[in-house]
Structure 1
């Protein structure tokens, strides 16, 4: 391997779903964020961020795991980035967890999900939302092989350049 010196470091809350929920919450939207978190300092940071943005949360605390984290490297000259995600407790969310929160999903005006969780959980959530006539949005990140059925459950799919290449 190679060691390269960086010139800055920042630690803060994030995650695709969380960032979207916070942005919408700050704009005054009525948002509830469903997730699994570890029981740790990163979970505390996430919950505080959501409270500050007016986002309600439906958190399944998962002491046996850790709150997911991402390491984002940005090349200063080009702005190109590489992101390494370690989803932690989020990868433990299950279709049963989703089913337990089905009424929350059915009550949404818009349902947004992504793939930093098991695909079967995302699929179950999209099925519930679609069945209730909720507008559905899938952020297909990180890029993964998707079952054909998932496309029929999505009103909108929001891939980046790399993900779009893999989907076409």
Structure 2
């Protein structure tokens, strides 16, 4: 069972990195954001690739960026996180091996720049493992409403819950980055 201390420990150990990433992406213009987001470049870590995107690889991420940058005008018009996800999902489908995690992470980073955030907790990769540890079942949908989570989670934004679940689900991998 999740305890308030688990949430507090997460905020200290991993939540700060997510907030630093958010702050960094808020400062970029849209063109720069699309490039760094799609290529999975972590501006808080010497512009290295986010570790959890390394399976996608630089070349595949670069291919995703090539398609996503053509959609800059459409992205500029997006008013919700979900609007951005529609676009990143379209690109994901066109590039072999991009996957749901790339689509979500790219949309989230673009959302940081545009100051639009997910209203729901999106579930993919390690996040599903964290979800299963809490609810003792596999998720049935791509996302879950925030209010479905225990009260301890309500202090977090949906994207923070997603990040927490990733770390919680991958607790055996000490250096796992989400």
Query: Could you say whether these structures have the same fold, taking a TM-score greater than 0.5 normalized by the shorter chain as the test?
Result: no
Return the structure number with greater relative CO, CA threshold 8 A, min gap 6: 2
Query: Structure 2 length normalisation: TM-score?
Result: 0.31
Question: Which structure: greater helix fraction?
Answer: 2
Question: Which structure: greater strand fraction?
Answer: 1
Query: Structure 1 length normalisation: TM-score?
Result: 0.33
